[in-house]
Amino acid sequence: MLFVWDDSYETGIIEIDQDHKGLVNLINDLYEAMQDGSGGALLLPIFSALKHYTETHFAKEESHMVECDVPDQDSHFQEHKLMVEKLADLERRHRKGEAAISLQTLTFLRDWLKNHICAIDRAMASQLKNKGMDQGA
Ligand SMILES: [Fe+2]
Ligand SMILES: [Fe+2]
């Protein structure tokens, strides 16, 4: 089923929410590609888009956390690092010809929305707002 963005994903910081919506779009692109049987073929461009997404989005979150000196930065950074490694591993296995990587990637990304964005990113955003970060930035 297509993934629908709802308020429970919102952090209230516009630039972060926009990035997260971009990730939801990528998840839906992957899902649609799987539905029409082109999941495997489209996986490499999707991995490349995910790589770009993680590099730019994580750098943004991390610099805000450092700037505002939010607590628990290290565990948040660690989660970002693990996601980058997980995606690299999925891509490597896909390139080697392993089957069913599309589904594993889809499941991983949906879990990420629930476990990272809904919990850790939202907690980070409320810390950033407490520290006076401009929410429209
Ligand atoms: Fe995020
Ligand atoms: Fe994050």
Ligand nearest to the CA of 76: 2
In-domain check, residue 104: yes
Ligand nearest to the CA of 23: 1
Q: What is d(CA 24, CA 110) in angstroms, rounded to the nearest whole number?
A: 9
pLDDT in tens, 113-131: 999 999 999 999 999 999 8
Q: What is d(CA 91, CA 83) in angstroms, rounded to the nearest whole number?
A: 12
Rounded to the nearest 10°, the torsion over CA 109, 70, 119, 51 is -10
**Per the structure block, which two tokens stand in for 28?**
């839906």
Ligand nearest to the CA of 72: 2
Query: What's the whole-number average pLDDT of the chain?
Result: 93
Q: Which amino acid is at 71?
A: P
Express as a percent the part of the chain with pLDDT over 90. 80
Task: State the CATH number of the domain containing residue 64.
Answer: 1.20.120.50
Number of structural domains the chain divides into: 1
Distance 97 CA to ligand 1 centre (A): 30
101 Cα distance to chain centroid: 17
Q: What is d(CA 63, CA 61) in angstroms, rounded to the nearest whole number?
A: 6
What pLDDT band is residue 136 in, cutting at 50, 70 and 90? low
In-domain check, residue 136: no
pLDDT in tens, 65-101: 999 999 989 999 999 999 999 999 999 999 999 999 9
